[in-house]
Structure 1
């Protein structure tokens, strides 16, 4: 039987105190990694995993839209032991068709989903590279980076960025033993998607081949795979975990 053993690995999970990020932090800790969650929260809520795994999770406050702060925090958490794994799951989601997207809404998405992602991914790459051990970087994107989602212009634009940034970072560092990949969740039940009411969620579920929304844990399973030795030869992949949504919808 194949098991994933991440004992001895040090992981950072950006956006690790809610939704998919929190589930990913638990999965990594359950596999034995020491995990630092990073988010704007001063105090992290209960991660919701087993007590044994929870003991391996600590938290640091970080505003990823601040480049200097992000560099400083990543350097501190890597310390003398280095960094092996990084998951980037922070993001914002707000509706707005193109003509309804004002400057503030556009910039808010860009600040977190584009600038913040780049600043934090760059620093995680810097620290993993400095360790000399190779490592894994996983970005949590969205199926909205591959297809449009009516009424979400800024969000889709930033998630489109994830797809090619993943490929570019993978090309830049694959030869150094650093794997950069992304997970593209479909519609997932998280705090972020609470903007949808129950009737809308049911309508959306009917368009998904699997006929259900994902749980954060289902997405986190894919993150765990991409952080594991099982994915050592996977570089630049954008892995859809979407219940078949991108494969096609009912005519």
Structure 2
């Protein structure tokens, strides 16, 4: 099944997060319509950080109800370095998902760095370059960019927000501490855990709840994510440190 992927970032202290919403072509119009219907009068986009808590709960609830799905990539270190490593991991997945279109929220002049990295990786995959397009868009250019914006913010916020967004998260890829290129230093191993079933779209009965009351991942220590299925509407999961 081919998919479209929408990407946005969030930062929590020393933790950098990249969220990628994975949408089959047949669900694009439905999710775009959903986001447009959630806009307040005069709004051109949903900016999750700027919303009040009541709006945040409503938006997350609608995304869960309508089956939005996203993966999260996170790490600690200088944001530009962590972003580059997260994007590389994401691109490996994008290629395996038979992605037809990759949309990344624009960061202005910094988009050139993303484009160079994407071009460098895709030169190794001629067939992928022929079938997949990628572009940077402003948040109001495609309503689906609201999904990774909300997922990244809520997961990074931890506590009850992470619990609420958990049913939309298919996988969390923890890259640990990202060192400077060429520097030799101890780094936590990459921790990657997924739900049972095929990616990128797991069954609606699977969900991640890696809630930690203290908030986002503490990258000074190695973490292990244990994932359990939803039973009777209750999400089970544990982040061990």
**Same fold, TM exceeding 0.5?**
no
Structure-1-length-normalised TM-score: 0.39
Higher relative strand content: 2
Identify the structure with bigger relative contact order (alpha carbons < 8 Å, sequence gap 6+). Answer: 2
| Structure 1 or 2: more helix by fraction | 1
